[in-house]
Amino acid sequence: MSIGNRIYPRIWPALGELVEQYRDLPVANISDSMQRMAGGGCNLRPYHDGTYLCGQALTVRVRPGDNLMVHQAIEMAQPGDVIVVEAGGDLTNSIIGEFILAYAARKGVAGFVIDGAIRDLGAIRKSSMAVYAAGVTHRGPYKVGPGEINVPVVIGQMTVQPGDLIVGDDDGVLAIAAADAAALLQAARKKHEAEEGNWARIKDGTDDRSWVEKAVRASGCEFVEPAAGAGN
């Protein structure tokens, strides 16, 4: 067995229409609906034109600075896949650039999430294919290997399993376990509706801010009274 250099078959179930139902939900609302405990991803920033990212993870683990298995993942990809690459967070060499985006676009890939570097930033900024990465470099990748495909990966302290639902917007990127996606959708919708109601109250001035002092006092904070004669 070639440990560290192997490709597993695609055995995860497709989420189908459930994927598209997430598309209009802010990632912050989804994250809050996960009790704000969804880990990591904070170092991965969007570099594309702002298009919302939504799709299932085709996971890749590579040696830092090497993208051979990323090319193989593109060959295996199905429309709507998000290629998620664990590249060690290394920024010395890029993992993808403009050419790889073009290859991926032909396969209908929804986007890339890379715990590593990219290049050809000028082209990527104009791209509607979502690209999240840890940074940018002009140095290109090697194509030697080894690497693995369809294995659990860790990107920005966030564990991603093959087939997980990946969502991303201007605030960042988030992985959702496929088994939790249906239940979480309902919770995130309720959170979003509650925030919309809060915005309406803020705009018309009917929002209630009395909770702030109550929470401060509940924390044990002391409101210090001015000394007698102070300020006279």
- The pLDDT, as a whole number, for residue 148 is 98
Amino acid at 111: G
- The pLDDT, as a whole number, for residue 173 is 94
Annotated domain spans of the chain: 6-188
- The pLDDT, as a whole number, for residue 170 is 94
Class of domain 6-188: alpha beta
- Residue carrying the six token digits 């590249």: 87
Burial 78-106 (b: 16+ CB within 10 A, else e): eebbbbbbbbbbbbebbbbbeebbeebee
List, for the chain, all residue ranges whose pLDDT scores fall below the cut of 50.
none
What distance in Å separates the CA atoms of residue 93 and residue 91, rounded to the nearest whole number? 6
Give the percent of the chain with pLDDT over 90.
84
- The pLDDT, as a whole number, for residue 35 is 78
- pTM for the model: 0.91
Virtual torsion, Cα 13, 17, 21, 23, nearest 10 deg: 80
